[in-house]
Chains A and B, each alone.
Chain A
Amino acid sequence: MESKLIAAKSEPLWNTNNKVISIVGALVVLLFTIPLFGLNSFYLHLFIMIFMHAVMAQSWNVIAGFSGQISLGHGAFFGIGAYATSFFYMQFGITPWISIFFGMFISAIFAVLIGIPMLRLSGHYFAIATLLIGISFQVVFQRWDLVGAASGLWVTMTPEDSWIALQFHSSKVPYYYVFLIFFLITFFVVWLLSRSKLGYRLRAVRDDPQAALSLCINVSNYKIIAYVISAMIMAPMGSLFAQYILIIDPDRVFNIEISIIVLLITVLGGIGNVWGPIIGASILIPISEYSRIYLGGTGGAVDLIFYGLILMIICIFRPNGLISLIPKDILERKKQR
């Protein structure tokens, strides 16, 4: 028995599957070199949207997948990030690189203020409450003159491309790299989180709050921590999106659709898994963008029909998301039976 314990202790902490590391490494290199192949602006835009939505879904994955709280108003933090960057740039000339952090900070404060009362609710009640919170933000910003009310904010454009103002008019390539780097940083941070003490404790809260309490885990506090981290991941995407389109309004950045799509992406890819949002965004966003191209406008809502259809298929055949199609021994620790 002693020898089995010694053998167990000598195992590596993580399943360092060399194939997975090689594939991920190759993909990262590929993503950095893609713009060099002279992609047209549509494809660059497509990748930018995939990166952005993957991060947004990763944000939702932290609160829903790791701590088990279904938030339906997560778009609020996207909107806060968008308005924070644009407002501070327009009013005080503060570079978006700094005001991104303002957006994160403000989102974190709202996450605490919302989380303290709301996270006492559980299950469907929390979901419904967050849905209303998301809508409330939209309504408030539609009537708030300081931030342009319903017309929103038209970000003052620089005459030329500017890294300081985070505005690029001649090419989408700089935006591509900015979103890519945020995407990679977020992925890495969430990957670390999932393997940290905090990650373990959040999963305990998700799986069984009662049992978590017996292990000295203050369930309410951990839910709030997850909510704050999640909000702080979401806000920078709002900030970058605002700099990308340079015009924001409540209907666009506080839209309920934002909260729904991050849910769909995560569920499609695999909830509670770091890879899930990436897989989900890589499938859903191209469907959405192509349907917009071929059907005009917002895609004639065909993208939404697709979403619904895909979701139904996933729920029936792959309730753990598309990630479950990947053989378990690749992503999980090998079991000794």
Chain B
Amino acid sequence: MKILSVENLSRSFGGIKANDNISFEVEQGSILGIIGPNGAGKSTLFDLITGYTKADNGKVKYFEKNIFGLSPDKISNLGIGRTFQKLKPFADQTLLENVMIGAFVKEQNIKEARDKALEIIDFVDLIEKRHHFAKELSTGQRKRLEMARAMAIEPKLLLMDEVTGGVDQKTIPGLVELIKKLKKTGVTIITIEHNINIIMEISDNVLALDQGKSIAFGPPKEIQKNKLVIDSYLGTFNAA
């Protein structure tokens, strides 16, 4: 079953086409990896899907419902969660409070929201840090915080922007395992990653972007062999 269908989504900033007629579909319960060099339009695509930026034209269907033009809060209320490339924790609040704010979407009672938040914090392996202020956490921990906060709204579709970006090598495997663990809960994931090894390891399908255009879409093994992708992105990876 298709959870998300994107059709001919476009967005220009002045003369620059950040996203140019992007189309793809995501199966429920799968992981779609999005790759592309810097400036390829990956984060803009997330902003268009989640309503943070208005698309010039195109369609975004979530379970066959057209969500094009809806505000970000309405889109998240439908069950689409997201994390941000530039982390946005509520810095002056504790980890627990951060996640509780997400938990309040489904829970009205403070204790229920607190307990649900604790379960999610436990899921992301940060239970001992629950009373730490977000600003006191390391980058890797803040990535987990954002994932936990997004999970608290009980999303069916989760968009994660560079989960492993900006963290040290030792932290990456743990985050990758967390993504896999998250998939097992049934959540559909779209993830932007620069680390091609990770994308190939976790994704069911990969969308490759370059200069705002979709240049390839398919299973990781096919993408690895795609000439356009190799020329624009994987060339360096393969050479290395």
Contact = CB atoms under 8 A, between A and B. Distances in A.
A1 B122 contact: yes
Contacts of B131: 333-336
Contacts of A201: 101, 104
Contact of B73 (A4, A213, A272): A213
B119 interface: yes
Given A8-B130, A216-B153, A219-B73, A210 B52 contact: yes
B153 A9 contact: no
Contacts of B130: 8, 336
Interface in B66-85: 71-73, 76-77, 81-82, 84
A57 B226 CA distance: 64
A217 B127 CA distance: 25
A196 interface: yes
Contacts of B113: 197
A335 B52 CA distance: 35
B6 interface: no
Given A214-B81, A216-B105, A333 B93 contact: no
B128 A4 contact: yes
B119 A213 contact: no
Interface residues of A, number: 31
A35 to B, nearest CB: 37
A161 interface: no
A225 to B, nearest CB: 14
Nearest to B114: A13
Contacts of B91: 207-208
A265 to B, nearest CB: 21
Contact of A213 (B76, B92, B110): B76
Query: Interface size class for chain B?
Result: 35 or more
A110 to B, nearest CB: 26
B73 A216 contact: yes
Interface in A1-19: 1, 4-5, 8-9, 13
Contacts of B50: 214
A200 interface: yes
Nearest to B107: A197
B102 interface: yes
Q: Which of A4, A207, A214, A335 has the most CB of B within 10 A?
A: A214
A293 interface: no
B175 to A, nearest CB: 18
B10 to A, nearest CB: 23
Contacts of A8: 118, 122, 127, 130
Given A204-B90, A214-B150, A333-B94, A4 B127 contact: yes
B97 A13 contact: no
Interface in B112-151: 113-115, 118-119, 122, 125, 127-128, 130-132, 149-150
Interface of A: 1, 4-5, 8-9, 13, 195-197, 200-201, 203-204, 207-208, 210-219, 272, 333-337
Given A1-B127, A197-B104, 10 more contacts: A8-B118, A9-B118, A195-B110, A200-B101, A203-B92, A204-B90, A208-B91, A210-B84, A213-B73, A215-B149
Interface of B: 50, 52, 71-73, 76-77, 81-82, 84, 88-94, 97, 100-102, 104-105, 108, 110-111, 113-115, 118-119, 122, 125, 127-128, 130-132, 149-150, 152-153
Ordered nearest first, which 7 A-B pairs have the shortest CB separation? A211-B88, A213-B72, A207-B90, A216-B77, A335-B131, A5-B122, A216-B76
